[in-house]
């Protein structure tokens, strides 16, 4: 019979509960509201580490990256009011990405509650499920003996159904109480399998289809289920697209791959989505970015027949009245789908081949001088190891990555695309730092815009401080400096041509800035200089920033600001 632990601080018990859940790394910014937890990290420093970040937004993005990479909740600790408000961007991002994550927030002592005490905020109001889109659950633990129960519930809620972020609020006086409470065992989420009747119906719909298209995505896949999904696609010869910023859900090198269904979608794929007679949306949310603003699939009743498989019942039918809805964990989905017996031949072979040919044709780019971003991305992929993790935030620069990088499918190296479907600027650098610290043997490449980068540039210090990118795996940040919030400038030229307002940027010397943080750095103005700079970064013993100077007129992988402005002016003159 095991004996209950000897009494220890609740803050220590909390750290022990995390260790029992398999956590070995937490991200955060310290605060006086949870000193007892920090003391717990000291107590158990052989088994768990606390990475001190430079801003809670960066810390929360790191936890999101941890959740995406490991499939278990990423862990972030922040202090009350100012810390929690800074961290909120990571919570929102994790919610939109369905990333399992637990945000622990230090709280004012119980006997000070509801006085608007120093930095007091009511997190159930602020982040509660009623806020829609911030957290799946907010718990506030007032009883030290019940801390393991709260941790277990937090992990279960973050993982089960549609994964997502949860918040656990920790009143300061609770954390300093003594407790002999035992920790609870590691949580494994209950898995939902698609119902057999629904699978039979799906087979009937497939047999009746002429031009089907599968769109894969979402969070909760494992390698086995991702392989099984590929076999399902192969058995039925289904062309496969990937949802916005879930481009690693299906192997982009596969002859059935059709491209990504996101911002900057290949226009031929957009047309194919519209022309399909059956859409199988497997695991992916049918959000604004994956549906072309609810136009590729008309809301609420698309012209195409729609099958939607998702882990969360609340997502099924939220917008679209699908013809068939299947609730299933993604770890089960592929395995269930591959059991559907396919006919010997399908009538859509040419359709599937054309879909892949369109994808390949979209890789061919007209050369751009002096700096060709398509070549930059292709060079990165050619030189970087196959299991490289790629990260980005928001901005037009990400369009080159999305269009020209081939992601290899989850069964090969797990998640290799860390990118926010929420379009949160500032995500990429902290996500890259986290990936590098969690997987020191893997190379991590971040592509950032100049606006995007400086939203969390301070996390360069976290990387240096903890030795990221100094081992076998390299850490490389490529900053695309066009001197403008280019995405906004593009929209301005489209809506209000020639009237630039609020989108020009003053920039530091990014290379000098990185060097001041202890990074190596180089500056590249022309395509030919990129390959040697990147090759050097792959050999280096420290993390490297490559500062790219890009003409602001090179707006996207498809058009220029001048062309957008001219079209808008012609439109306005014709009015
Ligand atoms: C946190 C946040 N603030 C504002 C925005 C709105 N926004 C979207 S893209 C963008 C500009 C991005 O500029 P940059 O990083 O320089 O990339 P570029 O578009 O020039 O390639 C802005 C301001 C956002 N998505 N996220």
pLDDT above 70 for 511? yes
Instruction: List Cα–Cα distances, 344 to 227, 236, 276, 334, 347, in angstroms.
Output: 21, 9, 21, 20, 10
The burial class, CB within 10 Å (0-12 / 13-18 / 19+), for 360 is: exposed
Give the integer Cα–Cα distance in Å for 179 and 33. Answer: 19
Which residue's entry shows tokens 């991702």? 226
pLDDT at 139: 97
Render pLDDT for 213-242 as a digit per residue (tens, 0 to 9).
999 999 999 999 999 999 999 999 999 999
Instruction: List Cα–Cα distances, 255 to 230, 233, 259, 337, in angstroms.
Output: 11, 11, 11, 19
DSSP, collapsed to helix, strand or coil, labels residue 362 as coil
Structure tokens belonging to residue 77: 């600790």
Report the predicted TM-score, pTM, of the whole model to 2 decimal places.
0.98
Across-strand partners of 392?
447
Render pLDDT for 50-64 as a digit per residue (tens, 0 to 9).
999 999 999 999 999
Residues near 22 by beta carbon (within 8 Å), at least 6 away in sequence: 72, 186
**How large is the average pLDDT for residues 509-533?**
98
Q: How many of the other CB atoms lie within 10 Å of CB of 495?
A: 10
pLDDT above 80 for 131? no
Confidence of residue 2 (pLDDT cuts 50, 70, 90): low
pLDDT above 70 for 1? no
pLDDT at 129: 82
**How large is the average pLDDT for residues 389-393?**
98
Cβ–ligand 1 contact at 479 (below 6 Å)? no
Cβ–ligand 1 contact at 485 (below 6 Å)? yes
pLDDT above 70 for 528? yes
Q: What is the DSSP string of 15-40?
A: HHHHHHTT--EEEE---GGGHHHHHH
- Nearest 5°: phi and psi at 161? 65, -140
Q: 420 alpha carbon to ligand 1 midpoint, in Å?
A: 12
Q: 82 alpha carbon to ligand 1 midpoint, in Å?
A: 23
Q: Which atom of ligand 1 has the smallest separation from the CA of 481?
A: 16
Cβ–ligand 1 contact at 57 (below 6 Å)? no
Q: 503 alpha carbon to ligand 1 midpoint, in Å?
A: 9
Cβ–ligand 1 contact at 424 (below 6 Å)? yes
Q: 377 alpha carbon to ligand 1 midpoint, in Å?
A: 20
Closest CA to 262 of 287, 298, 226, 229: 287
Structure tokens belonging to residue 272: 């194919």
**How large is the average pLDDT for residues 342-361?**
98
pLDDT above 60 for 347? yes
- Nearest 5°: phi and psi at 380? -55, -50
Our CA dihedral for 252, 253, 255, 259, rounded to 10 degrees, sits at: 30
Structure tokens belonging to residue 396: 């037009």
pLDDT at 4: 75
DSSP, collapsed to helix, strand or coil, labels residue 544 as strand
For the chain, give the number of residues: 575
Q: What's the mean pLDDT when you consider all of the chain?
A: 97
Bridging pattern class, strands 278-282 and 305-310: parallel
* Secondary structure (H, E, C), 198-212: HHHHHHHHHHHCCCE
Percent of the chain with pLDDT over 90: 98
Render pLDDT for 79-122 as a digit per residue (tens, 0 to 9).
999 999 999 999 999 999 999 999 999 999 999 999 999 999 99
Alpha-helix runs per DSSP H in 176-282:
196-208, 223-236, 267-275
pLDDT above 80 for 130? no
Across-strand partners of 139?
168
Bridging pattern class, strands 389-392 and 25-28: unpaired
**How large is the average pLDDT for residues 460-486?**
98
Closest residue (by CA) to atom 13 of ligand 1? 485
Instruction: List Cα–Cα distances, 553 to 70, 110, 479, 480, 557, in angstroms.
Output: 39, 56, 17, 13, 11
Q: What is the DSSP string of 317-342?
A: TSS---SEEEE--HHHHHHHHTTSPP
Q: 92 alpha carbon to ligand 1 midpoint, in Å?
A: 16
The separation between CA 575 and the C-alpha centre of its own chain, rounded to angstroms, equals 42
Render pLDDT for 261-319 as a digit per residue (tens, 0 to 9).
999 999 999 999 999 999 999 999 999 999 999 999 999 999 999 999 999 999 999 99
């Amino acid at each position: 019979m095991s004996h209950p632990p000897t009494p220890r601080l609740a803050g220590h018990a909390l750290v022990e509960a995390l260790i029992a859940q398999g956590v070995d790394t937490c991200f955060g910014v310290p605060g006086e509201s949870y000193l007892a937890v920090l003391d717990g990290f000291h107590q158990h420093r052989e088994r768990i580490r606390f990475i001190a970040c430079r801003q809670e937004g960066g810390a929360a993005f790191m936890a999101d990256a941890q959740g995406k990479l490991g499939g278990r909740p990423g862990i972030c600790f922040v202090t009350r009011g100012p810390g929690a408000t800074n961290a909120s961007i990571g919570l929102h991002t994790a919610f939109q990405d369905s990333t399992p994550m637990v945000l622990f927030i230090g709280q004012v002592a119980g006997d000070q509650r509801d006085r608007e005490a120093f930095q007091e905020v009511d997190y159930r109001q602020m982040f509660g499920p009623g806020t829609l889109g911030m957290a799946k659950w907010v718990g506030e633990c007032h009883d030290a003996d019940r801390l393991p129960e709260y941790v277990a519930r937090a992990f279960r809620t973050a993982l089960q159904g549609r994964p997502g972020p949860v918040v656990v609020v920790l009143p300061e006086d609770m954390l300093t109480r003594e407790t002999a409470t035992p920790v609870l065992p590691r949580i494994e989420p209950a898995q939902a399998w698609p119902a057999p009747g629904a699978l039979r119906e799906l087979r009937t719909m497939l047999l009746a289809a002429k031009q089907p298209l599968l769109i894969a995505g979402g969070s909760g896949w494992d390698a086995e289920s991702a392989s099984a999904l590929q076999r399902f696609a192969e058995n039925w010869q289904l062309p496969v697209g990937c949802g916005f910023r879930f481009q690693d859900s299906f192997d982009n090198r596969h002859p059935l791959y059709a491209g990504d269904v996101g911002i900057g979608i290949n226009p031929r794929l957009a047309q194919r989505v519209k022309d399909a007679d059956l859409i199988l949306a497997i695991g992916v949310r049918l959000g604004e970015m994956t549906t072309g603003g609810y136009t590729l699939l008309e809301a609420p009743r698309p012209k195409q027949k729609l099958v939607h498989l998702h882990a969360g019942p609340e997502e099924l039918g939220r917008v679209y009245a699908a013809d068939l809805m299947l609730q299933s964990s993604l770890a089960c989905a592929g395995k269930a789908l591959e059991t559907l017996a396919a006919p010997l031949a399908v009538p859509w072979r040419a359709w599937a081949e054309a879909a892949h040919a369109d994808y390949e044709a979209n890789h061919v780019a007209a050369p751009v001088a002096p700096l060709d971003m398509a070549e930059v991305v292709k060079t990165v992929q050619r030189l970087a190891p196959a299991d490289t993790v790629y990260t980005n935030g928001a901005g037009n620069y990400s369009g080159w990555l999305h269009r020209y990088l081939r992601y290899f499918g989850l069964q090969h190296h797990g998640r290799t695309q860390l990118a926010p479907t929420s379009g949160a600027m500032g995500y990429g650098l902290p996500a890259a730092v986290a990936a590098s610290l969690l997987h020191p043997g893997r190379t991590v490449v971040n592509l950032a815009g100049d606006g995007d980068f400086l939203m969390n540039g301070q996390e360069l210090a976290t990387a240096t401080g903890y030795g990221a990118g100094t081992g076998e795996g390299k850490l490389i940040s490529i900053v695309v400096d066009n001197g403008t919030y280019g995405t906004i400038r593009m929209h301005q030229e489209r809506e209000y041509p020639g009237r630039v307002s609020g989108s020009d940027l003053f920039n530091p010397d990014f290379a000098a800035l990185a060097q001041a943080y202890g990074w190596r750095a180089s500056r590249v103005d022309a395509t030919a200089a990129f390959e040697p700079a990147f090759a050097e970064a792959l050999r280096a013993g420290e993390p490297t920033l490559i500062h790219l100077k890009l003409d602001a007129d090179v707006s996207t992988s498809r058009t220029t600001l001048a062309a957008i402005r001219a079209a808008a002016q012609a439109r306005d003159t014709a009015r």
